[in-house]
Amino acid sequence: MSKINNTKIINDIEQQQKAAMSLDSNSSNKKINSIRSVSKIIKSEMTQDGEGVTLNRSFPNNFISEFDPFLLLDEIGPTDLIPGKQKGFPDHPHRGFETVTYLLEGKFEHKDSQGHAGIINSGDVQWMTAGSGVIHSEMPEKEFSKNGGRLHGFQLWVNLPKSNKMMKPRYQEIPQSKIPTGTTENGNVIVKVIAGTSLGSKAVIDTITPIMYMHFKLESGYSIVQPIPKEYNVFVYVIKGKGIFERSNNSQIIERGNLVIFDKDGKEVYIKAVEDSKVPLELLLIGGIPIKEPIARYGPFVMNTQQELYQAVEDYRNGKLR
Ligand code: FE2
C-alpha cells in the first residue's frame, strides 16, 4: 500500500510540476506576445443608399450595431458610374457625430446649407464634424458625373462625446498631397496616415477624441506590426488582396470586403500580406478610444437620449438645424 501511495504521490507531484511549467510558459508567452487576437470577422454587405449608390456596408448590421466610438463604415463602390447618370447623396442632415470621407477613385462635390462647398478628389480626405448640425449634399462632381468613371471610397462615422455633440460644425479638408505617408526601410510597406501615427509619420488632422485611421499597402509576403494604445478599439477593413492578422500556423486568410475586429488583449496589431497573392494587400486600420456613453440614433442623428433625438428631428423640421 505504502509503495502504491508513494508512486501516486510522485506522479501527482510530476503532474503538478508539468502543470506549473506549462502555466509559466503560458504566462511568459503572454508577456512576450503582445499581438492582439482577432475576435470577429464580418463580411460587408452590399446595399444602396442616397440616390442608389452601391455600397459595401460593414456596420451597422444584424451582427454589430456600432463599434465604439465608430457608428458606421461604408465602402462606396467600387462602381462604374454611367455617363450622365448622377448618383450621389442629395441634401440630408447630420447631428451629433463626424463623417469622414476618403476617396480612392472618382471626384465628389460637397455643399452645405451654410454655403460651405468643396471638391473631394481621389486620395483626399474630408473630416466633417457635424456637431450641432449640417444639411449637405455629397454628389459626384459635374465633369466626373458627365463623363462617368470609377467611384471608390469610404465613409466612416465617428461618434462625438456628449460634451461635443452640439459643437459648431467644423471641416478639415486634406488633399492627397498633404496627407503624411510612412514607409518601411525596404519600401515594401507604405502607409497613408489620416489620423494617428504610423511608421514615423504623424497625421495632420485634429480629432475630437483620439482616433487612428491608416491606409496600408503591403507587397505580397511582407508584414508589419502596428502599435495600438491599450484603450483603443481597433479594426481592419480589407480593400484589396489577401491578409493574415494573427501569428499562428492556422491563421485564417482574409479577403477583400471583410472587416476584422480585434480583441483588446495586446499592444500591437499584426498585418501580413499572403505570399502567393498577385496583388498587394491594401487595408484600412481604424481605431479609437471608446466613448462609453448611451447612444440614441435615428438615421443621420446620433445623440445620447431619445429626448435629444426628438429635438434633433424637431429642429430639422423647423429649419433650426443648419
Ligand atoms: Fe452626409
What residues are paired with 172 via a beta bridge?
127
What distance in angstroms lies between residue 99's CA and the mean position of ligand 1's atoms?
7
Cα(135) to ligand 1 centroid in Å equals: 8
Whole-number Å distance between alpha carbons of 249 and 297? 42
| 226 domain-assigned | yes
Q: 1 C-alpha to center of ligand 1: Å?
A: 81
Amino acid 321: pLDDT: 82
Q: Give the Å distance between the CA of 90 and the centre of ligand 1.
A: 9
Q: How many domains is the chain built from? A: 1
Rounded to the nearest whole angstrom, what is the distance from the C-alpha of residue 30 to the centroid of ligand 1?
A: 43
Flag whether 313 is in a domain: no
Let me know if residue 319 belongs to a domain: no
User: What does the pLDDT look like over 54-99, one tens digit per residue?
Assistant: 999 999 998 899 999 999 999 999 999 889 887 889 999 999 999 9
Domain encompassing residue 27: 6-306
CB 280 within 8 A of CB 241: yes
Termini Cα distance of the chain: 89
In this predicted structure, what is the pLDDT of residue 52?
85
**How many whole angstroms from 271 Cα to the centroid of ligand 1?**
31
- What does the pLDDT read at residue 4? 36
Of residues 40, 42, 71, 47, the one with CA closest to residue 58: 42
| CA–centroid distance, residue 300 to ligand 1 (Å) | 8
Contact 155, 74 (CB under 8 A): yes
Cα-to-centroid distance, 84 and ligand 1 (Å)? 22
User: pTM to 2 decimals?
Assistant: 0.89
Residue 170 Cα to ligand 1 midpoint, Å, equals 14
Residues 109-140: pLDDT tens digits?
A: 999 988 999 999 999 999 999 999 999 999 99
List, run by run, the mean pLDDT of 10-residue segments along the chain (322 residues): 39 41 40 82 94 93 94 95 87 97 97 93 97 95 92 97 97 98 96 97 98 98 96 98 91 96 96 94 98 97 98 93 76
Distance 37 CA to ligand 1 centre (A): 33
274 alpha carbon – ligand 1 mean position (Å): 36
Q: Is residue 269 situated within a structural domain?
A: yes
Q: Residue 301 C-alpha to ligand 1 middle, in angstroms?
A: 11
155 CA to middle of ligand 1, Å? 9
H helix or E strand, kind and range, residue 160: none
Say if 318 falls within a structural domain. no
In a domain, 321, yes or no: no
How many whole angstroms from 23 Cα to the centroid of ligand 1? 52
Of the candidates 58, 66, 79, 60, the one whose C-alpha atom is nearest the C-alpha of residue 254 is 58
**CA atoms within 13 Å, Cβ hemisphere of 301:** 21
Residue 315 lies in a domain: no
Give 108: exposed, middle or buried? Use CB within 10 Å, 0-12, 13-18, 19+.
buried
Ligand 1: distance of its center to the CA of 98 in Å?
9
Going from the Cα of 262 to the center of ligand 1, the distance in angstroms, rounded, reads 28
Record the cell numbers describing residue 176, joined without a space: 492627397
Distance from C-alpha of 58 to C-alpha of 135, rounded to nearest angstrom? 25
CATH of the domain at 296: 2.60.120.10
| Cα 14 to averaged position of ligand 1 atoms, centre (Å) | 65
Nearest to 268 by CA among 224, 213, 216: 224
Question: Where are the alpha helices (H) located in the chain, listed in sequence order?
Answer: 2-32, 142-147, 306-317
